[in-house]
């Protein structure tokens, strides 16, 4: 059996909860906005094998981009054309590569078996 103190507390608690004492306060809602000012900048890891391979490929090759949308891969040593990419824009979009990330483009060409750039 509940004591008089317990019954009084239950009544008090019921009044407080009915009045909204325990509800969360309704503050102005802050909407999340995808801000470009606070983007996380990724630092390349010098021990990452992908970054090492990209750097090695960029040392040996360069990409010459055309305004018509195609690109050619050239060897830096003798400026010989090694590979022709018919539509560079579609190639980069399909693989989610930044259009200007030459190292990643070279890495994907090399690792996908399209062309051997070693």
Is residue 54 domain-resident?
Answer: yes
Is residue 3 domain-resident?
Answer: no
Is residue 33 domain-resident?
Answer: no
Give φ, ψ of 54 to 5 degrees. -60, -45
Find the domain containing 88 and state its range. Answer: 49-111
Cα–Cα nearest to 58, from 71, 70, 74, 44? 74
- The answer to whether the pTM exceeds 0.75 is no
Compute the distance between CA of residue 21 and CA of residue 15 in angstroms, rounded to an integer. Answer: 9
Cβ-in-10-Å burial (0-12, 13-18, 19+) of 62 comes to middle
The whole-number pLDDT of residue 5 equals: 92
Is the pLDDT at 113 greater than 80, yes or no?
no
The whole-number pLDDT of residue 41 equals: 61
Task: Give pLDDT tens digits for 36-83.
Answer: 565 556 666 778 888 888 888 888 898 888 888 889 888 888 888 888
Domains identified in the chain, total number? 1
């Amino acid at each position: 059996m509940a004591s008089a103190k317990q019954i009084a507390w239950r009544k008090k608690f019921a009044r407080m909860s009915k009045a909204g004492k325990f509800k969360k306060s309704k503050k102005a809602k802050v909407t999340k906005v995808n801000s470009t000012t606070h983007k996380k900048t990724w630092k390349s890891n010098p021990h990452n094998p992908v970054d090492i391979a990209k750097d090695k490929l960029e040392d040996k090759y360069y990409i010459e981009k055309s305004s018509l949308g195609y690109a050619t891969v050239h060897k830096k040593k003798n400026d010989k054309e090694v590979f022709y990419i018919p539509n560079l824009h579609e190639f980069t979009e399909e693989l989610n590569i930044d259009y200007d990330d030459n190292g990643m483009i070279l890495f994907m060409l090399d690792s996908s078996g399209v062309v051997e750039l070693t």
